[in-house]
Chains A and B, each alone.
Chain A
Amino acid sequence: MFPKGTKRKFSDPVEEPASSGDQGPAAPPAAARTLSSSYSLQRQSLLDMSLIKLQLCHMLVEPNLCRSVLIANTVRQIQEEMTQDGTWQIMTQALAAAQCPADRLVATEVLCRQTETGAQPGQSPKPFPVVGLEEGYHSEEVVMEGEVETEVTMSPQLSTNSYLAGPFGMGPCWDEEDDDGDCEEEEEEEEDSEECMSEGDDADRDHLSADSRTGDQVFGTFEIKHPAPPPDPALEELFSDVDPSYYDLDTVLTGMQSTPKMGPYDLLESLSSHTPTALSSSSSCRSDLNELDHIMEIIVGS
């Protein structure tokens, strides 16, 4: 049952915790950038895993509220600790800096798409069924066409329950629990010291080809809250694959607007997690990548 056989560059802090406990070294002092890299790697991995778990809710049956609450609490805990460390701010700022307006247009285009339900790109997305709301539900039909900037606006009446439905339309693509074939493939990008690169299929990488780097930057935040400081190239490298909206806990917890915030590529690209469960490349993902290629060509005008 343990994800064996997953290759690691470092000694796996997830699988081989320190004898004192699962968290590795004790929580370092808040001011320190002296976090051991294994601890922060582990923490990052846990955060990614938790966010995926929150988003991957079964479409058909109401998800388990207890489980969702426990995972959300774990994410909050990590976020609080990272905020204290200052790591959280750095991450979101670095990602903010990496965005440029033109890319956001594509991002919205792509993110409109419901991967499994076959909605055409550019169509107004259907509102997702939301569970357990009693206050009433305003369907967030965010029209993406022609908008340069999409805002993550929450209806004030959307309750947390809606996140439990988590219906991104990505479900079946990512539900395969036992697919670690793809995860065996390690990314070769050595400049990434924090092993943020996901273990996507090499074939998927090929589809993106030269656009992979641009592709990474495309799926960024909707709205950048913090003014972008001059980007630190080292940090930018570190976090280039991470999608900041993905870490916006409030967004995750307070429910989704009806469109998926991230396409499957986001998970592929931005994960630093080693979770096998999230990274299956089904044929539908592949076809979506082809479509992405097509869109990229149009946008870039090549």
Chain B
Amino acid sequence: MKCFSRYLPYLFRPPSTILSSTCHTEADIISTVEFNSTGELLATGDKGGRVVVFQREQESKSQPHRRGEYNVYSTFQSHEPEFDYLKSLEIEEKINKIKWLPQQNAAYFLLSTNDKTVKLWKISERDKRPEGYNLKDEDGRIRDPSTITSLRVPVLQPMDLMVEATARRIFSNAHTYHINSISVNSDLQTFISTDDLRVNLWNLEITDRSFNIVDIKPANMEELTEVITSAEFHPQQCHTFAYSSSKGSIRLCDMRLAALCDKHCKYFEEPEDPATRSFFSEIISSISDVKFSHNGRYLMTRDYLTVKVWDLQMENKPVETYQVHDYLRGKLCSLYENDCIFDKFECVWNGSDSVIMTGSYNNFFRMFDRNTKRDVTLEASRENSKPRAILKPRKVCVGGKRRKDEISVDSLDFSKKILHTTWHPHENIIAVAATNNLYIFQDKVN
């Protein structure tokens, strides 16, 4: 487990935050993080509807120790708060998910979504501007045509680099319920947006039409007992997608079979262990995140206490189950009381699908090596991470004697939760969002 023990912490805070991390504004709470497909860019969305994009510095030979740090590249307001006059309710501007499109030209494209509207943003650089117009002068004022005596061809002159973000498409009015996920298809032409009861398929070019491909809304809402919690396209098969439910099941659907994918192709569910049954069994089985592996052979799901890896060929049980924080099992009633039991943790694969990572409380996050079966708990905190210091593994003691460096379950801070994490597609670089702080950790160079 060499790679886990050698991480360089690098601390970032969104530039708009002027308060210390102990008293931050609500709007600065990071609500999503995502690397792009090359790992060059890292996007974060926050509760205030802003997107901040970081870009990795080019590695320079003169400063080899500054190995590709991330700097702010662009900041823009993606979503604004809205008001639904029909229902007399606010629509939050919080960015629920960001997904990058693979780069096809000089500009970068990403999809960002709040509860109701998905937007396609183009982020482009401008480092030249034309000078020498005939009809207007340098300030932009129109010249009096009678004063023009000669013609010239405008010339492109270099200028300071400017990064601008423009909303190219707005996909709205397709969701009655709150959007919880978006996923770009491998065909790079379509994407899905998912709310509690429906999955809609869009073409990236067309904003006024969307196809409903999954609808689990019962005719009588009183009979509603299950909602969709997340959905994702298969990384290679453009006709396959999976969606997870609040009852702990995952359905794999093939869009070629029918226009409305109500019948699943595969249904993944682990039978409940009667020994651990309680009133909270259903709640803790609710899946908060589902992710295909990069190779497309496995699915990973996160429920409240565990991460599970499923083989797409085996539906009746997961092939691997990892306990994230089993010591919370005895605290479920209190966690229900303070609503923590409804926290939606995400999970990520590393680039080679050999390691999986997910967050926990007290700013802890966990990594599991699927090959060696070893795991580690690390902490994202300012006190414990000086730049270039190696992260120390943490341990929660569950009872009995507490060792010196251990922390007891009752001392855990449940307001410090790591819900959002992302892993660089090729390298061992991870980004972890701890409330309003973003931590980027890198594997140490030997």
Contacts and interface: CB of A to CB of B under 8 A. Distances in A.
Contact of B227 (A60, A66, A129): A66
Interface residues of B, number: 47
Interface in A48-85: 49, 53, 60-62, 64-67, 69-70, 72-74, 76-78
Interface string A147-179: 000000000000111000000000000000100
B92 to A, nearest CB: 6
Contacts of A161: 221
A22 B280 contact: yes
Contacts of B127: none
A42 B196 contact: no
A183 to B, nearest CB: 12
Interface in B313-367: 329-334, 336-340, 342
B112 interface: no
A1 B413 contact: yes
Size category of the binding interface on chain A = 35 or more
Given A17-B333, A70-B342, A78-B279, A1 B414 contact: yes
A10 interface: no
Contact of A1 (B88, B221, B280, B340): B340
B443 interface: no
Nearest to B341: A70
Interface stretch (A130-138, A188-196, A232-240, A257-265): A130-138
Most buried by B among A3, A22, A62, A134: A22
Given A1-B340, A49-B336, A65-B196, A17 B88 contact: no
B270 interface: no
Contacts of B442: none
Contacts of B177: 65, 132
Contacts of B221: 159-161
Interface string B59-102: 00000000000000000000000000001111110000000000
Interface of A: 1-3, 14-15, 17, 19, 21-23, 42-43, 46, 49, 53, 60-62, 64-67, 69-70, 72-74, 76-78, 129-132, 134, 159-161, 177, 250, 253-254, 275, 277
19 contacts: A1-B340, A1-B414, A14-B337, A21-B329, A22-B329, A22-B330, A23-B279, A46-B279, A53-B339, A62-B91, A64-B178, A66-B229, A69-B226, A70-B282, A70-B283, A72-B225, A74-B280, A77-B282, A160-B224
Given A19-B330, A21-B329, 18 more contacts: A2-B338, A14-B334, A17-B330, A22-B330, A22-B333, A46-B279, A49-B336, A60-B89, A61-B89, A62-B91, A62-B115, A65-B178, A67-B339, A70-B286, A74-B279, A78-B279, A129-B88, A131-B89
Closest 6 CB pairs of A and B: A159-B221, A160-B221, A1-B414, A23-B278, A129-B88, A65-B196
